[in-house]
Amino acid sequence: MLNKSCPHVSFEFEQTFLPPVYILVFIVGLVANGWGLKSLLNNWKKLKIINVFVFNLGLADILYLLTLPFLVVYYLMGSKWIFGDVLCKITRFCFNLNLYGSIGFLTCISVYRYLAIVHPVRVMGRITILHSLGISVLVWLLVSIQSLPDIFFSKTFGNETGKCYDTTSGIYVEDYLKYSLGWTLTGFCIPFLIALGCYGHVIVVLCRTNNTDKVLKQRSLRLLFILILLFSVCYIPYHVLKNLNLWSRVLLNQKLCREWSNGVYMAHQISRGLVCLNSALNPLVYLHGDENILAQLRQLILRARRTFRRLSNSSSVPVAQSTVEV
């Protein structure tokens, strides 16, 4: 519905919502990914093909997590970017590398699971760690090529407003929308359909086969659940709302105001918070795929329980009172 006067957009919302989310993701993501990568490196000689993709997934997360302190300062200062245009573009580029690198490596994990379960005879011995390393390099290369045009769009607009746009300034928003739609198709939609198709076929095969190992079936179902969680919470809302928000900005430039523009903007900011959660949720893939990490986690929980019991027992011991005879 068209309005004669454009509704007020609450740009202050991102300044209050995003910093706490970024701080939480930075702490949880850094600890979880650091622990997962350390475990993989300690068992490098026993590294499996799928763990090469998991390792690269962790690297993509760490790369993005290191940029979050700059964004926290940016939003706490009222969306005033003080670190220069180059660092602004590097920060946004690292976000895109993390986002589409994560989607790419999750898709690789899905395809490998599909081949190992549905076509084990064809795959056994033919796919090596060297192949997985080559595929990982190819994923990084493709993601970098897709993300590279984003750097050439204005991010600070001469820093007149002090902003560091996650997309671009209003002047170039129409061109950016076209780029974003193509990027969404190649970087998100196609990998998502591939991953969904692979795991859908895997579940059908596992359910039809009666002699399938129960442990294998449970692990495949858990990984499918993790995949659905990541895409439904982190990736789908972000891409839908990002393009809707860009479209509302294009309409605004054309003096066509919509009542839903403010709601879409706020929903897009929430989706930006959710999409960065992938750096904290991706370690679920570590926990699923590495039994050593699961064993370490159990030991850590057991030690924490013992420590808690000791502290509670020591605090509950009655203190003997001395009596003085007069």
**Residue 75 belongs to a domain:** yes
**Residue 269 belongs to a domain:** yes
**Residue 321 belongs to a domain:** no
Instruction: Report the distance separating Cα 138 and Cα 135, nearest Å.
Output: 5
pLDDT score for 185? 96
Which residues partner with 257 through β-bridges?
3
Q: Which amino acid is at 121?
A: V
pLDDT score for 322? 42
**Number of structural domains in the chain:** 1
**Residue 92 belongs to a domain:** yes
pLDDT score for 289? 55
First to last CA, the chain: 92
* pTM for the structure as a whole: 0.84
**Residue 21 belongs to a domain:** yes
pLDDT score for 237? 95
- Output the 3-class SS for the chain: CEECCCCCCCCCHHHHHHHHHHHHHHHHHHHHHHHHHHHHHHCHHHCCHHHHHHHHHHHHHHHHHCCHHHHHHHHHCCCCCCCCHHHHHHHHHHHHHHHHHHHHHHHHHHHHHHHHHHCHHHHCCCCCHHHHHHHHHHHHHHHHHHHHHHHCCCCCHHHCCCCCCCCCCHHHHHHHHHHHHHHHHHHHHHHHHHHHHHHHHHHHHHHHCCCCCHHHHHHHHHHHHHHHHHHHHHHHHHHHHHHHHHHHHHHHHCCCEECCHHHHHHHHHHHHHHHHCHHHHCHHHHHHHCHHHHHHHHHHHHHHHHHHHHHHHHHHCCCCCCCCCC
pLDDT score for 24? 94
pLDDT score for 321? 46
**Residue 311 belongs to a domain:** no
Question: What are the φ and ψ backbone dihedral angles of 257, each rounded to 5 degrees?
Answer: -95, 140
Q: Residue holding tokens 């650091």? A: 34
**Residue 271 belongs to a domain:** yes
* Domain region containing 180: 10-294
**Residue 313 belongs to a domain:** no
Query: In CATH, what number is assigned to the domain containing residue 137?
Result: 1.20.1070.10
pLDDT block averages, 10 residues each, the chain of length 326: 57 87 94 83 71 89 93 91 91 94 92 83 77 93 95 78 85 94 95 90 78 69 80 93 93 81 90 92 72 58 70 58 40
pLDDT score for 207? 77
Instruction: Report the distance separating Cα 1 and Cα 256, nearest Å.
Output: 10
